[in-house]
Amino acid sequence: MSGKRGRRHRGGINKRKPPMPIYPAFAQAPIKPPFFDMVMLQDSFDGTKNNLDAAFEKEIIDKAKLLQPTAVVKAKVGELTEHIINALNLEKEEKTLADVVINHVAKVGSFNTDTTLNTSAKSDIALQLCTLPSFETLSAISKRVIENIQQKSNFKDVITAVNHDYGCCIMTPNAQARILVTILPEISEKLEPDLHLGEKKLMLNYFSIRHSEWFQEVIESIDSFTLLELRSLIRVLRHAKNRFMDLQSLSIWNIHFLAFYSLLNGPRGTKVNLGTAFRRFFELLAAGILLPKTRCMIDPTSKSMQIGWELTNAQRDALTMAGQTMVRIFATGNDGYRAVLGTLATCQGVDLTQQKSAWNGIVVEPLRDAFKEGCMDPYLIEPGFVEI
């Protein structure tokens, strides 16, 4: 959705395939090696820790329970969400707004997947339009939503709305719901940067619908205890993201998918233990799974999209450094695991990705940035070669 014909980037809403790279006759196309995954190679390494540590697995589940929002908060957010969805569906049927045609309304995000944290009292709703979303459109939609709720329901809370770059946020004193606006792929070429919402936000919102549907399919395909483990893993990883600066560029989808992979994609397709999955998540980051030009993970909902495509090179570098720091801390023993999990009292409030930490005389120091602006620019481009 770049707004320029003929120069669409890879993985856009239209998902138009890029041309194949052309190589000189004497050269072979480069083959990227697979990323290093300790779990897949466990037969070659002795002494991997926490493979069967039942106490640590229980600690993860107990920590995740503490991170859940209360039933009262869930009820408040759920009530507001249902009223907004009803209001949007009413507008979809009645078509009272001149420049707005609604195609689809869907619950998305962590509230819908029941992986939200106790620090959040909000939900996400994806709104797909058949028309182009200008900033005036957002104001009209949010105003119509509030009017429909007030006129068609007995909802008594005071409701306000604020526009954002992703759409708009509908708020009450006790709950919030974000309306994530996106469009039909076939109208993306008509977008104008100064008039409409940004292409990247529209893409992220578009894929949030697919990601939510994918997670629902996962829920239906696994047993209740495995689902408990998966949700627990996602919650403690989201908690780690909030505590450690270098992890904060991870999106909810990145965490959902990498947690799923870490837990359920073991050797020969088996499930691994929860403690192993927790460590494995950081091992994958440490191995450079999100770095540019490595063999990456593919989005299961779109084969042309990579996991982490939206990250900048600086963010990819920071995530890799954070993973490597955590792996070194894991190597110090049980206290290292609990420090990363957030259950070690002496590390409360300590950002392990920014500060030195000492473990029985072993000092772990966060790494320095490897990425510098311009370091990825080619020094020389030979005629006939195509950079990939």
Looking up residue 143, the CATH number of its domain turns out to be 3.30.460.10
Q: Are residues 159 and 265 in the same domain?
A: no
Which pLDDT value is given to residue 250?
Answer: 96
Q: Are residues 132 and 107 in the same domain?
A: yes
Q: Are residues 358 and 232 in the same domain?
A: yes
Which pLDDT value is given to residue 46?
Answer: 53
Query: How far apart are the C-alpha atoms of 144 and 138, rounded to whole Å?
Result: 10
Q: Are residues 290 and 200 in the same domain?
A: no
Strand order in the sheet with 122-129: 102-108, 122-129, 176-183, 167-171, 160-164
Which pLDDT value is given to residue 386?
Answer: 54
Q: Are residues 89 and 123 in the same domain?
A: yes
Show the domain range for 88. Answer: 71-212
Which pLDDT value is given to residue 29?
Answer: 41
Q: Are residues 205 and 335 in the same domain?
A: no
Token pair of 338 as six digits: 């609990």
Check the CA dihedral 82-84-89-93 and report its sign: positive
Looking up residue 360, the CATH number of its domain turns out to be 1.10.1410.40
Among candidate residues 191, 212, 233, the one where a domain is terminated: 212
Q: Are residues 43 and 87 in the same domain?
A: no
pLDDT in tens, 171-209: 999 999 999 999 998 898 899 988 999 999 999 999 999
Asked if residue 252 belongs to a domain, the reply is yes
Among candidate residues 166, 185, 212, the one where a domain is terminated: 212
Asked if residue 129 belongs to a domain, the reply is yes
pLDDT tens digits in sequence order for the chain, 388 residues long:
444 444 444 445 554 444 444 434 444 444 455 555 556 556 545 544 445 578 899 999 999 999 999 999 999 999 999 999 999 999 999 999 988 999 999 999 999 999 999 998 999 999 999 999 999 999 999 999 999 999 988 888 899 999 999 999 999 999 999 999 999 988 988 999 889 999 999 999 999 999 999 999 999 999 999 999 999 999 999 999 999 999 999 999 999 999 999 999 888 778 999 999 999 999 999 999 998 877 778 899 988 888 999 999 999 999 999 999 999 999 998 999 999 999 999 898 899 999 999 998 889 998 887 776 766 666 555 666 555 5
DSSP for 278-302, written as a single string: HHHHHHHHHTTTTSTTS--PBPTT-
Whether 149 and 175 have beta carbons less than 8 Å apart is answered as: no
Asked if residue 80 belongs to a domain, the reply is yes
Q: Are residues 276 and 198 in the same domain?
A: no
Whether 252 and 303 have beta carbons less than 8 Å apart is answered as: no
Which pLDDT value is given to residue 31?
Answer: 46
Asked if residue 230 belongs to a domain, the reply is yes
Measured from the Cβ of residue 44, the count of other Cβ atoms closer than 10 Å reads 7
Asked if residue 304 belongs to a domain, the reply is yes
Asked if residue 387 belongs to a domain, the reply is no
> What domain count does the chain have?
2
Query: Which of 323, 338, 325 is CA-nearest to residue 57?
Result: 338
Token pair of 74 as six digits: 């869930």
Asked if residue 316 belongs to a domain, the reply is yes
Which pLDDT value is given to residue 246?
Answer: 95
Q: Terminus-to-terminus CA distance in the chain, angstroms?
A: 21
Q: Are residues 290 and 336 in the same domain?
A: yes
Token pair of 305 as six digits: 């999209």
Q: Give the single-character DSSP code of 173.
A: S
Asked if residue 29 belongs to a domain, the reply is no
Q: Are residues 357 and 228 in the same domain?
A: yes
Query: Which of 205, 214, 204, 290 is CA-nearest to residue 247?
Result: 290
Q: Are residues 142 and 201 in the same domain?
A: yes
Q: Are residues 312 and 182 in the same domain?
A: no
Among candidate residues 212, 240, 262, the one where a domain is terminated: 212
Q: Give the single-character DSSP code of 388.
A: -
Query: How far apart are the C-alpha atoms of 9 and 199, rounded to whole Å?
Result: 11
